Amino acid sequence: MKDNIIILDTSLRDGSHLNEGKFGKQMILDTISGLCRAGIDYIELGFLTTTDYDSDISMFRNIEDARKVIPKNEENTHFALMAYRFDVRNIEDYDGGNIDLIRTTNHIYDLEEGLENCKLTIKKGYKCSVNLINFYGAYTEDQKIEYLKRINDIHPYAISMADTYGLLDMMEIEYIYELADKYLDKDIILGIHLHENKGISYAMAQRFLQIIDRSRIALVDATLYGIGEVPGNLRLEQICEYMNKYHDASFKMDEIYRLIDKYFVELKRKKDWDYELPYAISSKYGINRKYAQFMIEKGNLGMADINSILKEVEGADKASYNRKLAEKIYSNYINNLYHKEQ
């Protein structure tokens, strides 16, 4: 950690949305070793799951399984696991090892479950980081304030404000920071998890690090080459170069670029995860990215068509993808076009 800033790599966890974590044993081991040598503060090894451990997949049933991928010489790196729809009562109590952070998730619709999972994580002795899913878009301002106060009562190690649908612009990330800084206890780490819907995640990460109070520890999620479900994430190589230039950090960029060359360029060639305009349009309307994906996969729509269709998604279905609704608004649009042409 440099200048009260923690860089957390989540390549093998967030990237698993593309391939169900099936990276292969050698890539998993090499990626973790390389990130340790590069000096990354935290590495999120993958999801916790109820299925049996497979060394070719970045998912783990318990802490003992996750230890199998950590190199003997892990430098000064610590490790995290994501408990998404996973009951943390199914893992061992913390034993003082370097897998010390469990990241829990909270949507607006499973708020109580998420808070309870965080309490159980802390009770087991781990640091808990709460990922607030779509915090900007899903909650009213009163709900945001109420929720931050409830988090204070639990007092996790950190919260991470996930821009799940890529809604944030510069002014909005300042608003989110100011709100959280005002109502969140100062010793709770404040983090961001940015997606690339608008192609500005790197700029927003810089702005976040410029405005955050130096007395509060900041946490920034990033992935190698931006890997993640389309349209991808903040790129680890960019934020590490920024840290080296402006915060006198010493991340070893040769290690990061070696991993990108060896694995991630080819992965991206097979299944691109970068910025695409339909996802920027979906972020404009504050809706689940899967609506944009659905329209892309139809293969017969231009950007103007997608813009016209996506603005029809309203109500509770905006955040939680409803395929039947997507089919309906698509069919209505195509039928209307047909009648206009007659």
Which pLDDT does position 139 carry in this prediction? 87
Task: Report CA dihedral (199, 298, 22, 31) to the nearest 10 degrees.
Answer: -20
Residues 6+ apart with CB under 8 A from 72: none
- The mean per-residue pLDDT over the stretch 219-239 comes to 97
Report how far residue 41's alpha carbon sits from residue 49's, in angstroms, rounded to the nearest whole number: 24
Structure tokens at 191: 């983090």
CA 195 to chain centre: 7
Provide the residue type at 109 as one letter.
Y
Burial class (CB in 10 A: 0-12, 13-18, 19+), 33: buried
Structure tokens at 173: 């990330």
pLDDT above 90 (res 309): yes
What is the pLDDT confidence band of residue 243, given thresholds at 50, 70 and 90? Answer: very high
Report how far residue 284's alpha carbon sits from residue 102's, in angstroms, rounded to the nearest whole number: 32
Which pLDDT does position 340 carry in this prediction? 67
Note the pLDDT tens digit of each residue in 251-300. Answer: 999 999 999 999 999 999 999 999 999 999 999 998 999 999 999 999 99
Which pLDDT does position 106 carry in this prediction? 87
The average confidence (pLDDT) of the chain is 94
Which pLDDT does position 342 carry in this prediction? 57
Note the pLDDT tens digit of each residue in 84-94. Answer: 989 999 999 99
Note the pLDDT tens digit of each residue in 76-116. Answer: 899 999 999 899 999 999 999 999 999 999 888 888 898 99
Report how far residue 213's alpha carbon sits from residue 279's, in angstroms, rounded to the nearest whole number: 32
Which pLDDT does position 124 carry in this prediction? 97
Which pLDDT does position 153 carry in this prediction? 95
Report how far residue 206's alpha carbon sits from residue 179's, in angstroms, rounded to the nearest whole number: 18
Which pLDDT does position 75 carry in this prediction? 75
Which pLDDT does position 297 carry in this prediction? 94
Cβ atoms within 10 A of the Cβ of 185, count? 13
Report how far residue 76's alpha carbon sits from residue 233's, in angstroms, rounded to the nearest whole number: 25
What is the pLDDT confidence band of residue 154, given thresholds at 50, 70 and 90? Answer: very high
pLDDT above 80 (res 181): yes
What is the pLDDT confidence band of residue 244, given thresholds at 50, 70 and 90? Answer: very high
Percent of the chain residues topping a pLDDT of 90: 86
Q: Taking the model in full, what pTM does it have? A: 0.93
